[in-house]
Amino acid sequence: MKKISLTGIKPTGILHIGNYFGAIKPALALTREYDARYFIADYHALNTMKDPKELSERIREVASGWLAAGLNPDEVIFYRQSSIPETFELATILMAFTGKGLMNRAHAYKAAVQANQSKGEDPDAGINMGLFTYPVLMAADILLFDSHVVPVGKDQVQHIEMAQDIAQAVNYTYQKELLRTPEAAVTETVAVVPGLDGRKMSKSYGNVIPLFAPEKELRKLIMRIVTNSQPVEEPKDPENSQIYLLYKLFATLEEQQALAARYRAGGMGWGEAKEMLFQAVNRELSPLRERFEAIRADPVTLDAVLARGAEKARAIAAATLTRLRKAMGIAF
Ligand code: ADP
Ligand code: TRP
């Protein structure tokens, strides 16, 4: 039997190339070796997204993005979190095994508290219970499907560790391996994709290159990448340049070496490097963009694909819950 790989993406914003290299591509690479279960974490998005039109648009966008990037729904169980009510039952169960202190230590919650404190506001201002208990719902997503590995970006590793802790608390209580302890799978080489301003590419920083940006917009964004004021003639260090770091993701090894040599030799300006980056990015993303637009134009087929995935997922989920309810004395 193949091992199980599971991951989810929150439909909270437009997909960008950080999501693609940090999450989608590594997850799709695992589908050859693993039984994959990939989903749209739509109830996770509700914590921050209250505009119904925007949320449904984003859900379909992220789903279309996965398919455009090459997910084959005949091989991967592909679904929306909200279609699996067992997830929310499991989350309730897991609450009983999760220390409040564990949640207090979650990076995302701590960052929100710190942001409030530094503004002199109440520490809990604007923090809902969805954010506070986020790691429990995420643990439910993972543990429900007996996942062995969870491909994620570095920022998500703490959440996987919390899922491990929670699974172990359940197993320890009943002295039985009721839940499989999952491992994070982080692709180290692309662990953090830099954004237009040099910080991590993230929709919260507004420094993203959208995965399906039209060609014109793509060029414009790449031309906006922040550079230093080194003159054209001066030799430059490729590894210290956002442009080069992004180029590495899209170019062949030979192309990378050629551009690195040009950096070191001097005589190459930032404008030229940006143009080369644009060409490489556009070469990889154009076919994806075309597929995305075709899928997005046919929501009926898309929804049917997701509904089929949900049916398969629910059969697995039901078995996990039956096992737990029996072990806990909830089912006789
Ligand atoms: P954002 O940071 O834009 O809000 P999400 O938190 O929704 O993105 O991330 C979705 C997935 O994409 C996660 O697995 C996350 O680790 C990955 N990811 C997001 N941004 C990057 C990045 N700049 N580099 C690598 N992976 C990323
Ligand atoms: N928390 C993840 C993110 O912000 C999304 C997510 C929700 C997830 N449930 C998951 C990822 C389960 C992996 C497994 O990107």
Percent over 90 (pLDDT), the chain: 91
pLDDT value at 264 more than 70: yes
Q: Quick one: average pLDDT of 301-320?
A: 98
* For ligand 1, atom 8: residue with the closest CA: 202
Q: Say which residue, 14 or 90, is predicted with more confidence.
A: 90
* For ligand 1, atom 26: residue with the closest CA: 22
Per-residue pLDDT of 121-178, as tens digits, reads: 999 999 999 999 999 999 999 999 999 999 988 889 999 999 999 999 999 999 999 9
Compute, in angstroms, the gap from residue 151 CA to the centroid of ligand 2.
9
Query: How many CA atoms are closer than 13 Å to the CA of 257, on its beta-carbon side?
Result: 3
pLDDT value at 189 more than 80: no
Average pLDDT, the chain: 95
From CA 301, how far away is CA 282, in angstroms rounded? Answer: 27
Instruction: Measure CA of the first residue to CA of the last residue in the chain; give whole Å.
Output: 31
With a 6 Å cutoff on the Cβ, whether 156 touches ligand 1 is: yes
Specify whether the CB–CB gap between 134 and 44 falls below 8 A: yes
pLDDT band at 74 (very low <50, low <70, confident <90, very high): very high
Q: Quick one: average pLDDT of 293-306?
A: 98
Q: What is the pLDDT of residue 229?
A: 87
Specify whether the CB–CB gap between 87 and 140 falls below 8 A: yes
Beta bridge partners of 39: 8, 79
pLDDT value at 192 more than 90: no
Specify whether the CB–CB gap between 226 and 196 falls below 8 A: yes
From CA 59, how far away is CA 11, in angstroms rounded? Answer: 5
Residue 45 burial (CB < 10 Å; 0-12/13-18/19+)?
Answer: buried
Report the residue count for the chain. 332
With a 6 Å cutoff on the Cβ, whether 44 touches ligand 2 is: yes
With a 6 Å cutoff on the Cβ, whether 19 touches ligand 1 is: yes
pLDDT value at 313 more than 90: yes
With a 6 Å cutoff on the Cβ, whether 10 touches ligand 1 is: yes
With a 6 Å cutoff on the Cβ, whether 10 touches ligand 2 is: yes
Q: What is the pLDDT of residue 127?
A: 97
* For ligand 2, atom 13: residue with the closest CA: 7
Q: What is the pLDDT of residue 187?
A: 78
With a 6 Å cutoff on the Cβ, whether 152 touches ligand 1 is: yes
With a 6 Å cutoff on the Cβ, whether 242 touches ligand 1 is: no
pLDDT band at 190 (very low <50, low <70, confident <90, very high): low
CB contact set of 90 (below 8 Å; sequence gap of 6+): 140, 143, 144, 317, 320, 321, 324
With a 6 Å cutoff on the Cβ, whether 207 touches ligand 2 is: no
Percent over 70 (pLDDT), the chain: 99
Specify whether the CB–CB gap between 212 and 285 falls below 8 A: yes
pLDDT value at 307 more than 90: yes
Per-residue pLDDT of 31-69, as tens digits, reads: 999 999 999 999 999 999 999 999 999 999 999 999 999
Q: What is the atom index within ligand 1 of the atom nearest the CA of 202?
A: 3
Per-residue pLDDT of 193-230, as tens digits, reads: 899 998 999 988 999 999 999 999 999 999 999 998 88
With a 6 Å cutoff on the Cβ, whether 201 touches ligand 1 is: yes
Compute, in angstroms, the gap from residue 234 CA to the centroid of ligand 2.
44
Q: What is the pLDDT of residue 3?
A: 98
pLDDT band at 191 (very low <50, low <70, confident <90, very high): low
Token readout for 217 is: 């917009």
Pocket test for ligand 2, best of 148, 156, 162, 193 (most atoms within 8 A of CB): 156
pLDDT value at 272 more than 70: yes
pLDDT value at 114 more than 70: yes
Q: What is the pLDDT of residue 100?
A: 98
Pocket test for ligand 2, best of 9, 40, 131, 143 (most atoms within 8 A of CB): 9
Q: What is the atom index within ligand 2 of the atom nearest the CA of 137?
A: 9
From CA 253, how far away is CA 242, in angstroms rounded? Answer: 17
Q: What is the atom index within ligand 2 of the atom nearest the CA of 81?
A: 9
Q: Which residues of 57-86 are buried (b: 16+ CB within 10 A; e: fewer)?
A: ebbbbbbbbbbbbebebeebbbbbbbbbeb
From CA 330, how far away is CA 162, in angstroms rounded? Answer: 25
